[in-house]
Chains A and B, each alone.
Chain A
Amino acid sequence: MIQIRDLHKYFGPLHVLKGINLEVKKGEVLSVIGSSGSGKSTLLYCINGLETIQKGDIIVNDIHVHAKQTNLNQVRQKMGMVFQQWNSFPHLTAVENVALAPKIVKGKSKAEARKIALSQLEHVGLLDKVDAYPNALSGGQQQRLAIARALAMEPDYMLFDEATSALDPELVGEVLDTMRLLAEEGMTMICVTHEMSFARDVSDRVAFFHDGVMEEIGSPSQIFGAPQSEHTRKFLAKVR
């Protein structure tokens, strides 16, 4: 379970997250929507400790992520993250991309790591690209590679930061399909997304962020059908 309590985040004088309270249970899929600059990415970065926080608490599997004695590298192994910009490691083949972290972070043997990598590449449908370098892959394939790479660490949670925003429209589908597959398999996921159909069809709950505040959270039918906040209504009218 991920618990976020009264989270505040500043970039210098800029107050980016203004007291977020949120719980994500095991097996839940949460979509986070909201306009640009509302703090969605920052929230994900805070959850896996890529950004520091100034106030509040984030607890993942009963571990206080931002406590001094916490080993962040261990926490991060439990949380896979996929970013908006494809960031496959360009100097490694697909299978090396996926096998690297199991090998050097978890200490798996070369053969074991390769086995894990191959099974995750199969998982995301890239078995025919095992020895390809990322520059020979399409954006959609690179994004699926990034998903496989995160899954290879056997995370309890997957965090997606607009995984499809940088893709050509015709490549969005294959990545969303992979995310949908994970959701069906019971993965706990937080997905920052601009894909309203994905948020509506796949998630258990949808959270709407506005200007550093979580204005509304509820089931997709609540948020899309009967939004309570004025900001949510305006946002949804714009993206439809």
Chain B
Amino acid sequence: MFDYNFHWRPVLKTLPDLLDAALLTLEVAILAMLIGIVIGLCLALIRLHMKGSLYWFATSWVELARNTPALFQLFFFGFGLGAFGLHLSPYLIVLTALSFNCAGYLAENFRGGFLAIPETQMRSARSLGMTAWQAYTRIVIPQVFRIVYHPITNQIVWCVLMSSLGMLVGFRELSGETQFFASRTFRIFEYFAATAVIYYVIVKLILVASRILAARLFRY
């Protein structure tokens, strides 16, 4: 039957290290999100308003990011670029791969958001004498932001979870750290169970924070 003896002590002893690694996970996920939001917004605007090579560049980015396995994207920035003599640190590999992936997904969310704003919003803003920039930043973007808010939240969660692939390129974030301790102590099940709980808590915290923020931001 079931004769495995659980040993939680090693896990507890290294818990501070795991939590440190969790912070690193969060850091890289949030950074990738911020980069992804900025680039995704640019990609969406390019795809909406431009033609020619820039359009094709943005479209290829979106297609590759959304339609290839995230793991392959990670390996591309790790080993793929390595083959061309460009060696990034594990941290940078994960950050670029996550940013690349997020930008592609968010670009489509942003694009949908922009398309959902009726053209008359822009027109009436301009008819009041607002510059194109003012109309965009005061009228269009805030409405787009509301539309993409929940997709962005989902993307942060996805980012946190996907950063666990980092252990495959030697990044000592939460999963990498767990892997390291697990193989040293052979307490594999305990370590990964504990880490799963940490991921779960992080994700729940993000979702709750997002809900609280949404209630404060969107009163309409």
Chain B, residue nearest A85 (CB): B120
B7 within 8 A of A: no
17 A/B residue pairs, CB under 8 Å, sorted by A: A50-B126, A74-B129, A76-B126, A80-B127, A81-B124, A81-B127, A83-B123, A83-B124, A83-B127, A85-B118, A90-B143, A105-B130, A105-B134, A134-B220, A146-B124, A149-B128, A153-B129
Q: Are B120 and A87 in contact, CB atoms less than 8 angstroms apart?
A: yes
B14 within 8 A of A: no
Output the nearest chain A residue to B134 by Cβ-Cβ distance: A104
A85 → B minimal CB distance (Å): 5
Q: Which of B119-156 contact A (CB under 8 A)?
A: 120-121, 123-131, 134, 138-139, 142-143, 146
CB-CB nearest in chain A for B137: A104
The answer to whether A105 touches B126 (Cβ under 8 A) is no
Contact A91 B123 (CB under 8 A): no
Contact A73 B131 (CB under 8 A): yes
Q: Does A164 interact with chain B (Cβ within 8 Å)?
A: no
List A87-111 residues whose CB lies under 8 Å from chain B: 87, 89-91, 100-101, 104-106
Report whether over half of chain B's contact residues are helix, strand or loop; otherwise say mixed.
Answer: helix
Q: Tell me if A141 counts as interface (CB < 8 A to partner B).
A: no
Across the A-B interface, give the 7 residue pairs with the lowest CB-CB distance, nearest first: A133-B220, A77-B129, A101-B128, A81-B127, A76-B129, A87-B124, A105-B129
Q: How many B residues touch A, CB cutoff 8 Å?
A: 20
Q: Hey, which bits of chain B sit against chain A, CB under 8 A? A: 118, 120-121, 123-131, 134, 138-139, 142-143, 146, 219-220
Contacts of B220 in A (CB 8 A): 90-91, 133-135
Q: Across the interface, which residues of A come within 8 angstroms of B118, CB to CB?
A: 85, 87
Residues of A near B139 (CB, < 8 A) are: 89
Indicate the member of A81, A83, A89, A153 with the most B CB atoms within 10 Å: A89
Chain A, 53-76, CB within 8 A of any chain B CB: 73-74, 76
Least distance between A100 CB and chain B CB atoms (Å):
7
Q: Does A193 contact B (CB under 8 A)?
A: no
Give, as a whole number of angstroms, the nearest-CB distance from B146 to chain A. 7
Chain A residues lying within 8 Å of B127, measured Cβ to Cβ, are: 48, 50, 76, 79-81, 83, 150
How long is the Cα–Cα vector from A134 to B124 in the complex, in angstroms? 15
Shortest CB-to-CB span from B78 to chain A, Å, is 42
Taken together as a complex, chains A and B put the C-alpha atoms of A76 and B124 apart, in Å, by: 11
Q: A83-B123, A85-B118, A100-B138 are in contact. Are A91 and B129 (CB under 8 A)?
A: no
How far, in Å, is A162 (CB) from chain B's closest CB? 13
Counting chain B CB atoms within 10 Å of each CB, the highest count among A73, A79, A149 belongs to: A73
Q: Report the nearest A residue to B123, measured CB to CB.
A: A50
Minimal beta-carbon separation of B144 from chain A (angstroms): 10
Which residues from chain B contact A106 at a C-beta distance below 8 Å?
129
Q: Bound state CA distance, A89 and B142, in angstroms?
A: 10
Q: When the two chains form the complex, which single residue of B124, B125, B146 contacts A91, counting CB atoms closer than 8 Å? A: B146
The residues of B that contact A100 with a CB separation of less than 8 Å are 128, 138
The complex places the Cα of A77 from the Cα of B134 at a distance, in Å, of 14
Distance of A220 from chain B, by nearest CB (Å): 27
Chain A residues whose C-beta falls within 8 Å of the C-beta of B130 in the assembled complex: 73, 101, 104-105
In the bound complex, how far is the Cα of B130 from the Cα of A100, in angstroms?
A: 10
Q: How far is the CA of A105 from the CA of B124 in the complex (A)?
A: 14
Whether B128 contacts A150 by the Cβ 8 Å rule is: yes
Chain B residues with CB below 8 A from A91, complex form: 142-143, 146, 220
With most chain B CB atoms within 10 A of its CB, the pick from A48, A79, A104 is A104
Nearest-CB residue, chain A, relative to B218: A91
- Which of A73, A83, A133, A135 interacts with B129 by CB under 8 Å? A73
Tell me if B128 and A153 are in contact (CB < 8 A): yes
Determine how close the nearest CB of chain B comes to the CB of A81; give it in whole angstroms. Answer: 4
Q: Which residues on A sit within 8 Å (CB–CB) of B143? A: 90-91
- Separation of A17 and B128 alpha carbons in the complex (Å): 24
Bound complex: CA of A149 vs CA of B126, how far in Å? 13
The docked-state distance in angstroms from the alpha carbon of A146 to that of B120 is 12
